[in-house]
Amino acid sequence: MRRLLIPILLVVSPPSFAKDLLIFGGDNHDEFLGCLNCSEYDSNSVCNGYGSFGNEFSSSGIWNEFAGFGNEFSSDSPWNEFSTSKSVPVVVDRDGGFYGYFTINIHRSDAVEFAPFLKQLFDITDGDLEKVRINLCKSLGYSG
């Protein structure tokens, strides 16, 4: 079994985050794709497997491998390890503070600091986005 490297950002329990971390995609980053660290019961949470942004079958999120932002071959997808597109989703807080591009492209200097962890999750699950979601959410302290 491979060990996961868990970044400091994700080890901190969710209630200790001072601000909600939101994911936006699209050419102008005006398409809301979910809240990264909101409660798994929040309808906007990427960890809510029944919500619009956590459901692997939803066309409005990052977990559907056959649609928009979930398709690893799309230049707009966080799961395209080679994309340098400016329309890759970004992580911001409600005040507009920029935390980086939400991507597994570890060579982007403007990627979120936990990009290597995302890439590792993607690789060890063979790109199964539902498993990536579950493991990411567990690292945030949610059941996924």
E strand intervals along the chain: 21-25, 31-35, 90-93, 98-101
pLDDT at 6: 47
**CB of 98 closer than 8 Å to CB of 107:** no
pLDDT at 17: 53
Interval 108-114 mean pLDDT: 96
Interval 116-143 mean pLDDT: 94
Interval 65-88 mean pLDDT: 93
For 39-68, how does the pLDDT look when each residue is reduced to its tens digit (9 = 90+)?
A: 999 999 999 999 999 999 998 789 999 988
pTM of the model: 0.86
Percent of the chain scored above 70 by pLDDT? 87
102 Cβ contact list (under 8 Å, min separation 6)? 23, 36, 62, 78, 88, 89, 90, 91, 112, 118
